[in-house]
Structure 1
Amino acid sequence: MADETIGIVGAGIVGLATGRHIALRRPGTRVVVLEKESRVAVHQTGHNSGVVHAGIYYPPGSLKARLTVRGVALLREYCRDRGLPYEEIGKLVVAVRPDELGRMENLYERARNNHVPELRKVSKEEIKEIEPHAGGLAALHSPRTAITDYPAIAREFAKDIEAAGGEVRLGFPVASITRVPGGIEVASGQEAVRVDRLVLCAGLRSDSVARLARDSEEPRIVPFRGEYMLLRPERAHLVRGLVYPVPDPRYPFLGVHFTPRVDGSVEVGPNAVLALAREGYRRSQVSPRDLARLAAYPGTWRMAARHWRTGLKEYRGSLSRAAFMKDAGRYVPGVGVADVVRGGAGVRAQALDPDGTLVDDFRIHRTGRITAVRNAPSPAATASLAIAEHITDAVFGDVSGV
C-alpha cells in the first residue's frame, strides 16, 4: 500500500539503510526513524573498525553469507557514487601454528562456496611479498577486502531518507510500543508517533525494545566490549593491509588483528570481554540493572561454564598491554608493547540463546506489523544495504524472515 508510514527504531547503519531502501523502493511511503541519541551512528556503527568483509567466514547458505556477498557489491557502488572512502587494501588470514592449517583450508573452501573474489592460498614466502613485516606458515589472501567510513555512510543514508520526504527524529528514546487499530503507537515521554508498520533495529537494546513490542524474550543481548591498541604513527608503515588470525570456530569473534583505517591510523584488536553495561565502552562503566538482567538469564551461566577459560584470557589482555600484544606479535613479529598506545573501544551486541550458545547468524523475523532484528553483529555494516532489502521484503510480506 502506498501512503503508509513506516517507523524504524534505531539510527544505526542497519536502521538507516532500511529506512532509505523503503523510502526509495516504495514512493509515497513515509519513513520515520526514531533514535534515542542526539545524532546517528553513535553506538556499534560509530565504533566499527571500518572493514568491508568479503564473505570468507560465513557458512554457505547462511543469511550472513548471502547478504554479505551482495552487500559488498551494493556498498562499493554506493560509496563510489557518493564519493565516500572505499579502499581495497586486501586481507591476509594467517596461520601461525600447524594446527591452524586445517582450519585455514576449511575457510578457503567456505570462501570459495561464497564466491569471494580473487581469494587464493599463499605460502610463507608469499606472505612476505604482500606484508613484508608479517609472519606465519601460510595464509589466505583476499585482495578485494576493503576499508571504509561507516559513520559517514550512515550520515549519508540519513540524508537520503530526508531527501525522500522521511524524517530522522533524534532524542526519542522509545518507552512504549502499543498495537492500536490499524497500526502501532510508539511513545517517548509525552510524545507519540503512530505508524502503520514498525521495524526494530535497536542494536545493543534490541531485546529490551523487542520486549516492549511483546516479542519473544530470546535471544538476549550480551554486550561484549572490544578494546583496541593503536600503532604509533611512526610504526604504522609496518602494516600495509589487513592482517587477521585464523578464527576459532567456537566463537563468532575474529580474534585480535591489524586494521589500517581510512585516516591512516592502524588499530590492533579487538579483544572480547564481557561489558558490565549495555553501552560500557570503558571498564569503569557498570550498570547494576544490566548486570542483574545478565545474572538472571540461564544462558549467561551456561555460556560462562562453557567458555570461562577463554574469558579469563581475554580479561588478561584487557588489563595488560603486554598480554594483549603477545598474540598480536605472532602475526607481525616486529610489533611490541613499545609500538602501541591504547585506542578506543566498541561494544558488540551479541545475541545469546537460553542454552548458552552465542548466536552466529543474523536473526530477523516479523510478527504481524512489527519486524524485529534480533541479531545483527559484524558483518552487519558490510551487509547493511542487502540487509535492508531483506528486511523490506519481510516488512511487506515477500519473505517470512529468519
Structure 2
Amino acid sequence: MPVKENPNYFSSNFNLGILGGGQLGKMMLYETRKFDIRTKVLDASSEAPSKIACNQFVQGDLMDYQTVLDFATDVDVLTIEIENVNVEALEKLEDQGKTVYPPTKALRIIQNKAKQKLFYVDNQIPTADFSRFAYKSEIKDSIENGGLQFPFIWKAAQFGYDGQGVKVVRKMEDLNALPPGECIAEEIIDFKNELAVIVCRSANGEIKTYPVVEMEFHPEANQVEYVICPARIDEKVAERAQEVALKVSEKIEHVGLLAVELFQTQTDEILVNEVAPRPHNSGHYSIEASYTNQFEQHIRAILNLPLGETKSKVAGIMVNLVGAEGHTGDVHYQNIEEILAMEGVTPHIYGKKQTRPFRKMGHVTIVNQDISKARQIAQQVKETIKVISK
C-alpha cells in the first residue's frame, strides 16, 4: 500500500490553531514561522505575547464554550499552550471531526489534579499519598477526626499555574487563606531532587524523550529558578525517571509534549508529582542546548512529522526571570547588557509590558561544555539581572 502523505503544511493555506497566547505560544510561533506554517491564536488579553508572531489573533475567553467553537471553525489542527481551556468545546470539535491535540480524553485527566492523582493510582504509577476533598471544610473535619495530619501540601484541583494553587499547610489557621472548592491534600515528600522528563509522542505513535533535567525551586514563590540539563544524578536514577515518564505517556495517550515532573526520594525512588501536556518551563534550555528544541518538537508531533533529535549539543541551564518583589508597573530589565556580555548567555524576553512580584517575564539560557561552569554563570546571571518597574 502507498504511504499516506501528510497535508502540505508549509507555505500553504493549512491553518494551525493555538489556544493560549502567552510566552509558550510565542516561542511555539518562532518554529511555525521558521517552517512558514500559518497560525491563528486565541487569548483573552489584547497584549498577549503571541499576538505579534501569529498570522491571525483573536481576543476571547479560553474557558467560553462558544468562543472556542467559533475560533476553531477555520483551523485544521487545534492545540494548546495552557491547560485552562473549555474541554466541552474541544470534545464537541472532536465529535465534528476536528483534529485536537492533546486529545480531550488526556486533557480531562490532566486538567484536574485530583483526577490526575487517581489516574496514577489506577495505573500503578508511583506518586505521593494524597486525600481528595470536594470542599475545603472537609479538610478540617478530616484533621479533627485524625484522618489527616500536619504538615501537608494543599493543591487546588483546577486552575493552578506557575506556583499558584499550591500551599504548604502546617497548622489549622493556614486553612483560612485557602480558597473553597475541590482540592487534594498531599503527603510532603522528603526528596533529594526534583526532576523532569519531557516525552514527545506523535500522532502516529513515534515517541522520544529528552534527557532528565534537575529543577531548583524558589522556596517562597514555588516557581522553578533553575533548570539544569543534564541532571546531576546517578545513571540508574535517570533510567528509572525515563521509565516512569514513558509509562505515564503510554497510559495517558497524549499527542505532543508531556512534561512529567518527578521527585527523587532519599531512597532513590521516583514519584510522579504532576504533568503538563504542552511545552514546559523545564524544557526552555532546549532552545539553545538541544538539537531539536521542545517547541519545534511539539509542532512536529501534532502535525505527524518525523520527530527530531532530543540529545543535547552542550550542557544547558535555564534561569527564570521573574518580577522582583516590591516592583509593579512598566517593566525594566536592569543590567541586561551585563549578562549579554557573559559566555554562552541568551536572554528571552516574553513581551509582557507590566511586571509584578514573581510574574514570569522571561528566562535566560546558559550553555557550556562544562555543567559546573554553566551553573556558576547561571548564578552570576541570577545575581546580576533584575526585573523591576521603571
- TM-score normalised to structure 2 length: 0.33
RCO greater where, 1 or 2, for CA within 8 Å and sep 6 or more? 1
More helix by share: 1
Relative to the length of structure 1, the TM-score reads 0.32
